[in-house]
Amino acid sequence: MNGSKNDIDPASELLEEDEEQALPEPEQDLDLAAVGPLAVGRAVIASHAKLAPSSPGVYRMIDAKGDVLYVGKAKNIRKRIIAYGRPTGYDPRIERMIAATAALEFVSTATETEALLLEANLIKRLRPRFNVLLRDDKSFPHILITADHWAPQILKHRGARAREGNYYGPFASVWAVNRTITALQRAFLLRSCSDGFFESRTRPCLLYQIKRCSGPCTREIDFVEYGELVREANAFLSGKSQAVKDELAAEMEKASAALDFERAAIYRDRLAALSAVQSHQGINPHGVEEADVFALHQAGGFSCVEVFFFRTGQNWGNRAYFPKADRSLSAGEVLGAFLAQFYDDKPSPRAIFISHEIEERALLAEALSIKSGRKVEVGVPQRGEKKDLVDHALANAREALARKLAESSSQRRLLELLAEVFVLARPPRRIEIYDNSHIQGSNAVGAMIVAGAEGFEKNQYRKFNIRAADLAPGDDFGMMREVLSRRFKRLMNEAPRPLPGTPPTPAQVLAMAPADAGAPIDIGDGDNDSPWPDLVIIDGGRGQLTAAQETLAALGIIDVPLVAVAKGPDRDAGMETFFLPGREPFKLKPRDPALYFVERLRDEAHRFAVGSHRVRRRRDIREAGLQEIPGIGPTRKRALLHHFGTLKAIERAALADLAKVPGISAETARKIYDFFHERAG
């Protein structure tokens, strides 16, 4: 558990049980240069300890820039803070943290349980670099069967539960949800279309033809029968899968006995679809109705947590996490910290099975029980089916970490090659790649993607809607100037860094100790401590490079390496030309691994830029209507919507289908098709 006693210092555990000791007095008129940053940090802590409350709560250790270094909890905050000020032997990680501490803040809570919940929330929000950090923390997808329409809809849902209906999950991935919904559509024939599409139908859609919908939109099924399908789907997802299958089997036998073989075949196909849902889920424990299984494996100083979700006796998928954690922390410490953050914004199941004992297991169970309003069990299974589930998760964690380490090793080698090609001082830890996308200047979007030691860092991607009104249509140089100016102005405000040649402070020197001394480690999210790039790659030639140089120089930034990548003749991959300041343009050998790597980076930036541009263009089309298309007026717009139902269906329609719409000639169909499929630049 983050903030637990063994996470900080074993001596603090003894101090908690002893009589409160006298506070060490800070030295008067401290000579900072003489005593060093560690002594200064201890003195700061000792002075703040006098003001610390003697109650449960949370404390924050803050550096000179105001950034939070560490968030911890304690039964008695004052005793815990005193422990930091004692001149005893700490491990290097704690010494670096103490040396960098310039201030402390405290928040009292009524109980230690409240302190645990608050600690997890603050760690996730503040992301202190000395805590164990759960970085990949997207909300999990669920299946929603709506209850606000006479013909309920089945759909994928993520986020706040604002819509009325029944939610089932969590599922480990969108892929798992989509696969399950497809199988459930075959089994229960529920509609997945939007209400707008539903109301506009005059004939059944393709899903009805391929037997994945019962066609309530055109009354191919009546209200009572459709309601029965909805009841069966809710029952199946609520854990009554066997009862539902028994009902369907009985109906199949009944239809067969009545010689209604067509109806019997429908029930047969629905039963087969339900069996497919369960067979694709791998292990399906008989004695575990609702549980999450966590298993942690450590190797080479890194940690992997594999999570399996079991609901209604079914396996709803698994996901691997790679938390950022100091390599000196044990498996139990990392797992305890991970669990508290994992359930900070997620509902917990009735049972949680873990692979390693954690120090505050009972406290975590109590906190989750209070939060969920029902008893939550947190256990370390020793035998039987539950132990088999944990062992299975542990094997998956071991394999996932091995794959991640292999990928990281390969990625690091590519970064080393990049450093050689572009003559960098060291392999780049953060690479930013920029590209623009527009069609004749309209809906112009700039895009930035980020790559590092662990590959693409998609949570760092940014898009820039071009705002300048005085840019000529298609002015790529002006767009690049605006994007870089906005990006680096904000970076300078949010994360100012010393000018080149400015020596670091003693505390910064101690805080920048190498990783093998116990420094925080990144794996899985590539989130570096510094948001400043070690290399900037621009899609373009000499002109784009000059524009980038001038933009950064105007901001006083002269030490960020810049590279422009110009496409080859006819945009051929492998023929790119590289432009660097102060060097002649050059090409790499067609089979050079560094060239392939740069192409991957550039193509990802182009994909993201074009995708962002298309999203913006579609939004403008929705707002302006189909009249934006040359030759489309109100009459033809109504004809298109009446035929296809929605704008999305029109956008996806083939040229031949567009030409079949009454009033749409072959020439007009071509204009419509080209409008939606024109390639973005």
- The pLDDT of residue 2 is 46
Give CA–CA dist 649/653, Å, rounded: 6
- Token pair recorded at residue 113: 């349980």
412, HSE (Cβ side, Cα atoms, 13 Å): 9
- Token pair recorded at residue 231: 């009841």
Give CA–CA dist 467/212, Å, rounded: 45
- Token pair recorded at residue 190: 């529920």
**Superfamily covering domain 5-126:** GIY-YIG endonuclease (3.40.1440.10)
Closest CA to 418 of 598, 626, 175: 598
- What residues are paired with 307 via a beta bridge? 294, 319
pLDDT digits (tens, 9 = 90+) for 191-206: 999 888 888 888 888 8
The helix/strand/coil state of 579 is: strand
pLDDT digits (tens, 9 = 90+) for 296-307: 999 878 899 999
Instruction: Let me know the angle formed at the C-alpha of 95 by 92 and 97, rounded to the nearest 5 degrees.
Output: 110
- The pLDDT of residue 670 is 85
Give CA–CA dist 519/522, Å, rounded: 10
**Helix 241-257 vs helix 261-279: crossing angle, to nearest 10:** 160
**Superfamily covering domain 422-496+525-614:** UvrC, RNAse H endonuclease domain (3.30.420.340)
- What residues are paired with 455 via a beta bridge? 452
- The pLDDT of residue 14 is 34
Strand ranges of the sheet holding 165-168, from the earlier edge strand across to the other edge: 154-157, 142-146, 165-168
Yes or no: say if 208 and 214 are a contact pair by the CB < 8 Å rule: yes
The residue ranges of the chain whose pLDDT is under 50 are 1-34, 280, 506-528, 623, 679-681
Look up residue 569 and give its DSSP letter.
G
**Residues for the chain: how many in total?**
681
Which CATH fold would you assign to the domain 626-677?
DNA polymerase; domain 1 (1.10.150)
- The pLDDT of residue 71 is 93
Torsion of the alpha carbons at 265, 271, 277 and 282, rounded to the nearest 10: -120
- The pLDDT of residue 216 is 92
Residues of the chain with CATH 3.30.420.340: 291-403, 422-496+525-614
Give CA–CA dist 654/52, Å, rounded: 70
- Report the amino acid identity of residue 136: D
Yes or no: say if 152 and 190 are a contact pair by the CB < 8 Å rule: yes
The beta strands (E) that lie in 270-406 are given as 291-299, 302-311, 314-321, 351-354, 377-379
Give CA–CA dist 134/123, Å, rounded: 9
- The pLDDT of residue 519 is 40
Yes or no: say if 313 and 226 are a contact pair by the CB < 8 Å rule: no
CB atoms within 10 A of CB 515: 12
CB atoms within 10 A of CB 38: 18
Yes or no: say if 168 and 317 are a contact pair by the CB < 8 Å rule: no
- Token pair recorded at residue 484: 């870089």
The helix/strand/coil state of 572 is: coil
Give CA–CA dist 513/154, Å, rounded: 53
Torsions phi, psi for 144 (to 5 deg): -120, 130
The helix/strand/coil state of 236 is: helix
Which CATH fold would you assign to the domain 291-403?
Nucleotidyltransferase; domain 5 (3.30.420)
Give CA–CA dist 513/350, Å, rounded: 43
Give CA–CA dist 263/259, Å, rounded: 9
Yes or no: say if 72 and 58 are a contact pair by the CB < 8 Å rule: yes
Q: Is 613 exposed, middle or buried (0-12, 13-18, 19+ CB in 10 A)?
A: buried
The helix/strand/coil state of 621 is: helix
- Token pair recorded at residue 380: 């370390």
